[in-house]
Structure 1
Amino acid sequence: MSELSELREDIFGVEVKKHVLWEVVKWQLACRRQGTHSTKTRGEVAYSGRKILPQKGTGNARHGDRGAPIFVGGGVAHGPKPRDYYYPLPKKVRKLALKMALSSKAQEKAISLVDQIPIGDVPKTKKAVEFLRAQGLEGKKVLLVLPEKDDVIYKSFRNLPYAKVLPVEGLNVYDILWADHLIITRPSLEKIYERLGS
């Protein structure tokens, strides 16, 4: 696309290294995990404390209580407990990965620059579909990048499973790689330069 020539090389022309992108996507998905999974240990299961059979003389193995992990209804051995999956990743790596993700889309010629997204003052999914059809992108996974949060545009596109709307502030590697095509408004481009410029 002709408009891609106006994109800055230091942000949209970076050498793409898949491992850096993988590292950042893994970090992003880890941060999103709720970590609320929980199982009960043998000390937390509700059961009678009675010894289930005599220690000797039955021919069976010796057992103390019903809550042992080998019994149905017993506790879980080494099961998951609530935890935080977050781990730190250097800002430089995150910033570099964002440049690489944008560069990969530029190399694929999968970026369109528009002056604005013509929806109007009231959210209309029909207008959103018309806009994507005019761009030749209906049915493709599209990420729209706005300078800041815009409820009208967001509500217009949110019913479309193949479209996502993000402000520059929320731009991230996972969503860029998810999309088949990026639509960036020109005011957003300036903000991307501010955010990622060295």
Structure 2
Amino acid sequence: MNPATFNFPVISEIVAGAWVENTVRGDPTLEPAAIAAARRLVERGAVAISSSCGFFIRHQPAVAAAVKVPVALSSLILLPALLRQLPPAAKIALLTYDSICCNNDLLGVSPSERARIVIAGVEGGEFWHNALKRPPRPTELDVVEKDVTASLARIRSAHPDIAAILLECARFPLVAPAIRRAAKLPVYDITHLCRMMLTSIT
């Protein structure tokens, strides 16, 4: 939602009933509300649709089927393509808001590809706790960076063959430059996917 992210106007709609907790855990009753929000966006002139939570990947097929504009609700859509960009033995680190809820069925990859994805979350950290509040409590950017950096450090110590990083959480792109500098690895997030959509239609 940062207006400086894209060289393009951004409009938004709220998915009724969607809080961090039930979105991340996969509340199926959110799907009709997600479709309704997408349709409202199209009525207001949206030419592409994304979301502010990577866990909306669960509703990607239904929302994409409901509107006639490109839809990319999660950076997780990038996973299969990123795996093919890397050597067969290389792994991707998936940094997520909550690794416990980031199940295999959200990844869109085969069992053999799944072995190349290592997942780490920021659950239990300050940002994680703040986001669960109703309404969510703001978290300073340096705190988000600290939580994500610590998560990455843990997973890299266990998996030195990580060759790229994918950020699931839509808040993480704000700290992506710092992660990229620290890790010295390619770092991908939802903004890359959105730019690809926008470039394809403008």
Taking structure 1 as the reference length, the TM-score comes to 0.28
Of Structure 1 and Structure 2, which has the larger fraction of its residues in helix? 2
- Bigger RCO (CA 8 Å, 6+ sep): 1
